């Protein structure tokens, strides 16, 4: 490994070593003091984030040009590390309260983030697949982490079986692309396609299979079947991390692969992506209306938001709009991550053992028992709907603008209409919190309260200064 290899993958290498050492150190930490493991995991993430920040503006290729360091990978890696820190902060007290606190939880989180970061830096389809498995396997274990709970074990099994099934689509797709172009390097695929020497039908079939595999990971329709059951059965802290981290990594890989490797067939794929985006928005929002469990409601909500992000991909067929589309998608991922962790932190605050406190009616009277928490949850619901003054509204505006400029006005109309549909179930929770009588029991925990409080403030404050955030996202382009 030469200096360029080391520099390109420095954050990934550091976090991998830290996660491995954490497993060993945890053996010497008393069962009653696993909070130390959580703190050490957070320190590792903070250290890695510092290294990633120091690489801002740098570009390099490593390991025979199989991995790349650029503005895009740096930005998304920082977002993933932030997600890891939020995931640890909401898990710290939750695991202890649920009686499932074990040190390996935090190492699994770190290893999953390693896979996510590697996926953002992948410049070869083989690395994409390796990263996909590396981020997925720890999540399978984490979904079944509450092994005393049958629902958690069922969640882990379902996620594992369907995850392995979707991984086979990615492998087969990569094989077809290799057969069509003679290479798995993303830049090489693009060059072969541009030269006109690729087998276009075979490459189109391969790219479609890769899209199917990642469609599972980001929970796009019709590959979303696993999401509600897995989200409901998994420990809530795992669900929160999965909803943000896996989605960010999946979309980051899709953006790099489809904007770089397959630009010549983007026009052929555009109608397919547009239909997928429309179906995902419609199914996610309509199905969420019928849910009475907050975890299932937010699960269908995450499906719907995958549809909104997919809207950006329809602009890939127009080379002049690719940069704007990537910037809009990245911005929306940031807005979604902030809102996601805030809302799930409040869900964890109300959750009790044996699944109690997860029904929508359990939020009745929250305004009286904990006004600040009720206001924060209202902010998150408004942001997910796309109502001012929230970051979610700004994110949707950027996405809709790109779609309209790309000529898909009908898709933007569906996006607006489905947002109106989502207002029903998001605002329903606000009505329950503020207008129904009840005495919900909330669990005061320092890190948990800090998380939802900080995320609520960020959701509102950044909506007034979105250009600074969008400018940073715009700089994170693959040059």
Q: What is the pLDDT of residues 131-167, one digit of tens each?
A: 999 999 999 999 988 878 888 888 888 888 888 888 8
The answer to whether position 150 is within a domain reads no
In a domain, 343, yes or no: yes
The predicted structure's pLDDT at residue 263: 67
| Crossing angle between the packed helical segments 150-181 and 200-218, to the nearest 10 degrees | 160
Range scoring the smallest mean pLDDT among 302-306, 362-366, 371-375, 440-444 = 440-444
Residue 125 pLDDT greater than 80, yes or no: yes
Pairwise CA distance, residues 116 & 249, whole Å: 5
112 has pLDDT over 60: yes
- pLDDT confidence bin for 388, thresholds 50/70/90: confident
**Under 8 Å CB-to-CB from 446, ≥6 apart: which residues?**
93
Q: What is the rounded CA–CA span in Å between residue 196 and residue 257?
A: 19
pLDDT tens by residue, 45-72: 999 999 999 888 888 888 888 898 888 8
pLDDT at 287: 93
Say if 103 falls within a structural domain. no
Q: What is the pLDDT of residue 203?
A: 87
Q: What is the tens place of the pLDDT at every residue in 201-258? A: 888 888 889 888 888 888 888 888 888 889 988 899 999 999 888 889 988 888 888 7
CA torsion, ordered 439, 443, 449, 452, to nearest 10 deg: -60
Instruction: Quote the number of domains for the chain.
Output: 1
CA 23 – CA 105 distance, rounded (Å): 10
User: What does the alpha-carbon distance between residue 24 and residue 275 come to, in Å, rounded to a whole number?
Assistant: 48
| 121 is a domain residue | no
Distance CA 469, CA 125 (A): 30
Which range, of 127-141, 291-305, 357-371, averages the lowest pLDDT? 357-371
Against a cut of 0.85, is the pTM above it? yes
Closest CA to 248 of 278, 276, 217: 217
Q: What is the mean pLDDT of the chain?
A: 87
Domain limits at 418?
Answer: 267-479
* Cβ 41 vs Cβ 115: under 8 Å: no
pLDDT at residue number 308: 92
Q: Which of 265, 242, 18, 287 has its CA nearest to residue 116?
A: 242
Task: Name, in order, each residue with C-beta under 8 angstroms of 448's C-beta and a sequence gap of 6 or more.
Answer: 89, 90, 92, 93, 94, 345, 348, 349
**209 in a domain, yes or no?**
no
Q: What is the mean pLDDT of residues 384-398?
A: 89
d(CA 461, CA 72): 24
Is the pLDDT assigned to residue 472 strictly greater than 80? no
Q: Which run of H or E residues covers position 477? A: none
* pLDDT tier at 355, thresholds 50, 70, 90: low
pLDDT category of residue 354 using cuts at 50, 70 and 90 = low
Identify whether 291 is part of a domain: yes
Residue 479 confidence (pLDDT) above 60: no
Report the half-sphere exposure of 98 (CA within 13 A, side-chain side). Answer: 30
Angle subtended at Cα 25 by Cα 89 and Cα 11, rounded to the nearest 5 degrees = 65
Higher local confidence (pLDDT), 354 or 13: 13
pLDDT at 323 over 70: yes
- Angular region, 30: left φ>0, alpha ψ -120 to 50, beta rest: beta
Q: Compute the average pLDDT of residues 296-325.
A: 86
Partners of residue 60 on adjacent β-strands: 69
Q: Is the pLDDT of residue 407 over 90?
A: no
How sure is the predictor about 1, in pLDDT bands with cuts at 50, 70 and 90?
low
Inside any domain, residue 251: no
In this prediction, residue 154 carries a pLDDT of 87
Question: Which residues is 343 bridged to in the sheet?
Answer: none
Is 342's pLDDT higher than 60? yes
Q: Which residues pair with 61 in a beta bridge?
A: 68
Q: Would the pLDDT of 416 be above 90? A: yes
Mean pLDDT for the stretch of residues 333-356 = 87
- Residue 83's pLDDT is 93
Mean pLDDT of all residues in 105-122: 93
Confidence label for 266 from pLDDT (cuts 50, 70 and 90):
low
pLDDT digits (tens, 9 = 90+) for 22-43: 999 988 888 878 888 999 999 9
Q: What pLDDT score does 176 carry?
A: 92
Residue 289 lies in a domain: yes
Q: How far apart are CA 311 and CA 308, in angstroms?
A: 5
User: Of 297 and 1, which is predicted with more confidence?
Assistant: 297
Under DSSP, the state recorded for 435 is H
Q: Residue 476 — pLDDT band, cuts 50, 70, 90?
A: low
């Amino acid at each position: 490994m030469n200096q360029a290899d080391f520099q390109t993958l420095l954050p990934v290498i550091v976090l991998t070593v830290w996660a491995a050492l954490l497993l060993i150190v945890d053996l010497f930490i008393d069962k009653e003091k696993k909070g130390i493991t959580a703190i050490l995991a957070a320190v590792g993430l903070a250290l890695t984030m510092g290294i990633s920040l120091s690489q801002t503006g740098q570009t390099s290729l490593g390991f025979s040009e199989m991995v790349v360091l650029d503005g895009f990978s740096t930005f998304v890696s920082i977002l993933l590390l932030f997600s890891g820190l939020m995931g640890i902060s909401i898990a710290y007290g939750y695991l202890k309260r649920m009686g499932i606190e074990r040190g390996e939880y935090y190492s699994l989180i770190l290893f999953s983030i390693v896979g996510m970061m590697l996926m953002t830096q992948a410049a070869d389809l083989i690395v994409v697949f390796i990263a996909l498995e590396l981020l997925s396997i720890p999540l399978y274990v984490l979904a079944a982490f509450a092994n005393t709970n049958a629902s958690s074990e069922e969640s882990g099994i379902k996620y594992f079986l369907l995850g392995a099934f979707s991984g086979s689509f990615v492998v087969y797709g990569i094989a077809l692309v290799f057969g069509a172009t003679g290479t798995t390097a993303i830049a090489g695929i693009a060059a072969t396609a541009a030269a006109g020497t690729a087998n276009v039908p075979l490459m189109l079939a391969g790219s479609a299979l890769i899209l199917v595999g990642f469609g599972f990971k980001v929970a796009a329709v019709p590959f979303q079947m696993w999401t509600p059951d897995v989200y409901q059965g998994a420990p809530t802290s795992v669900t929160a991390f999965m909803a943000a981290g896996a989605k960010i990594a999946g979309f980051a890989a899709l953006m790099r692969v489809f904007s770089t490797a397959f630009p010549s067939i983007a026009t052929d794929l555009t109608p397919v992506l547009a239909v997928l985006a429309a179906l995902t928005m419609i199914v996610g929002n309509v199905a969420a209306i019928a849910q009475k469990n907050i975890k299932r409601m937010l699960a269908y909500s995450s499906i719907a938001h995958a549809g909104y992000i997919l809207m950006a991909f329809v602009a890939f067929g127009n080379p002049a709009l690719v940069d704007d589309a990537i910037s809009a998608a990245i911005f929306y991922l940031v807005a979604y991550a902030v809102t996601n962790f805030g809302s799930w932190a409040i869900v964890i605050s109300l959750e009790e053992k044996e699944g109690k406190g997860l029904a929508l009616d359990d939020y009745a009277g929250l305004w009286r028992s904990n006004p600040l928490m009720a206001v924060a949850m209202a902010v998150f619901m408004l942001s997910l709907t796309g109502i001012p003054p929230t970051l979610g509204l700004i994110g949707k505006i950027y996405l809709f603008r790109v779609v309209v400029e790309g000529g898909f006005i009908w898709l933007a109309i569906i996006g607006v209409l489905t947002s109106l549909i989502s207002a029903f179930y998001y605002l329903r929770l606000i009505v329950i919190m503020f207008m129904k009588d009840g005495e919900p029991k909330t669990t005061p925990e320092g890190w948990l309260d800090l998380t939802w409080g900080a995320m609520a403030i960020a959701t509102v404050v950044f909506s007034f200064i979105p250009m600074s955030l969008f400018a940073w996202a715009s700089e994170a382009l693959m040059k």
